[in-house]
Structure 1
Amino acid sequence: MFAISLGDDGAELRPLEPRHAEAYLAHIDRSRAYIGRYIALPDFATDLPSATAFLQSYADKAATDSGRLYGIWQGPELVGGVLFRTFDAASGTCEAGCWLEEAAAGRGLVTRAMRLLIDWAVDERGIHRVEWIAASANTASINVAKRLGMVRDGVLRESYLYRGVRHDMEVWSVLAPQWRELRDSGRFEPPAAQR
């Protein structure tokens, strides 16, 4: 198993696999309402069998090279995760996403983890376009896209029906040449005109 340090605070990025179902379910249970404000992730892990099935679905995606799932661990405790919800190396596109417990928010964990994933996707796998799709009201997620230097492509008005409410969804993206330029310059915040 591998673990990649996310900095000097002891946080690590590690694979999140079916064998972690108990830790994953405990993590979701600790922050079910917070995580579920804008995404249905907690709905897919209501008990151990459903948590295992969700993690297995991403193990299957990894096996077919169509998605990936990683946990953000603080010591022995899972506190969040990042993923490629979709991954199409042949067309050079993927959709990235994240979630985090409320207690772990505000420390840059997701941004640091996503930088590692985007580096891998662009440099190792030849991905040209990384997308980020988030509810307009999900400021924390939108702020991650901004910190990653992504550009807002547009808004899909009332396109996502979630818990009886229609949400506007924002589509953000970064292209490989833009990513390399931002990374190499050390500047990840976009110019004010793109915010």
Structure 2
Amino acid sequence: MYAIPLTENAELRTLEPWQDAEFLAHIDRARSHTDPWIPWASRSTDLESAHATLQSYADKQAADAGRIYGIWRDGVLLGGVMFVRFDAKSGTCEIGVWAEPAGEGNGLISASVRHLLAYAFGERGMHRVEWWNSAGNARSRAVAQRMGMHLDGTLREQSLYKGVRHDMEIWSLLAHEWSGEPKSA
């Protein structure tokens, strides 16, 4: 198994379809906290749908169009990061994140995003990394700001969640703006 150490007791690893039961247990713990922000959280409600979520990212990875990674601390899945979209031809990708409450506030998300930025810019030569978040998600906005991203704009009432329209912010970081050393967490 391949893992990237984040701290002495936390690591970043690819999430794969065979981990569907562990993923479902994690999403069940995280659901009320992540459901408003991550569309697949409300769709991953049983083993079959959790497997389908992970399979969709395995398919994206095989097509070089996206990837999903989990963050484990002390052997427990607490959250993750993903390339929601990855378009090597255009040089643009989008990073997304999520965590259950036990995975927040300790820098694991920021450390993981730094690894995805290093991969996108350093290994894959991407030109632009995007970050989309609901305008109501202050924690997500804070991560974008810590990474040195710039607010490109707000799409008013772009996202529909449980019958209510939400504004979406779009942040970006360009290759020449990234120093390889984003602001600390």
Q: Please tell me whether residue 123 in structure 1 is matched to residue 122 in structure 2.
A: yes
1:18-167 matched pairs, under 5 angstroms:
18-167=17-166
Shift of 1:44: 2.2
Asked if the contact 1:35/1:41 (under 8 Å) is kept, the reply is no
Shift of 1:108: 1.1
Asked if the contact 1:159/1:169 (under 8 Å) is kept, the reply is yes
Distance in 2 between the 1:38 and 1:94 partners? 19
Letter in 1 for 2:19: H
Q: TM-score by structure 2 length? A: 0.96
Distance in 1 between the 2:85 and 2:182 partners? 27
CA offsets 1:93-141 (integer angstroms, 9 cap, x no match): 0011000001211111111000001101111111010000000110000
Asked if the contact 1:152/1:171 (under 8 Å) is kept, the reply is yes
Q: TM-score by structure 1 length? A: 0.91
Distance in 1 between the 2:33 and 2:182 partners? 30
- Aligned to 1:13, the other structure's residue is in SS state strand
Distance in 2 between the 1:105 and 1:53 partners? 26
Letter in 1 for 2:183: F
Distance in 1 between the 2:31 and 2:114 partners? 26
Q: Report the equivalent of 1:188.
A: 183
Distance in 2 between the 1:78 and 1:119 partners? 23
CA 63–117 in structure 1, closer or farther in 2 if over 3 Å, else same: same
- Aligned to 1:44, the other structure's residue is in SS state coil
Distance in 1 between the 2:151 and 2:74 partners? 35
Distance in 1 between the 2:79 and 2:135 partners? 21
Asked if the contact 1:34/1:101 (under 8 Å) is kept, the reply is yes
CA offsets 1:60-81 (integer angstroms, 9 cap, x no match): 0000000010000112211001
* Count of equivalent residues: 184
Q: Report the equivalent of 2:14.
A: 15
Shift of 1:33: 0.4
Shift of 1:41: 2.6
Asked if the contact 1:70/1:81 (under 8 Å) is kept, the reply is yes
- Aligned to 1:31, the other structure's residue is in SS state helix
Q: Report the equivalent of 1:192.
A: none
In structure 2, the gaps of 5 or more residues are: none
Distance in 1 between the 2:134 and 2:102 partners? 21
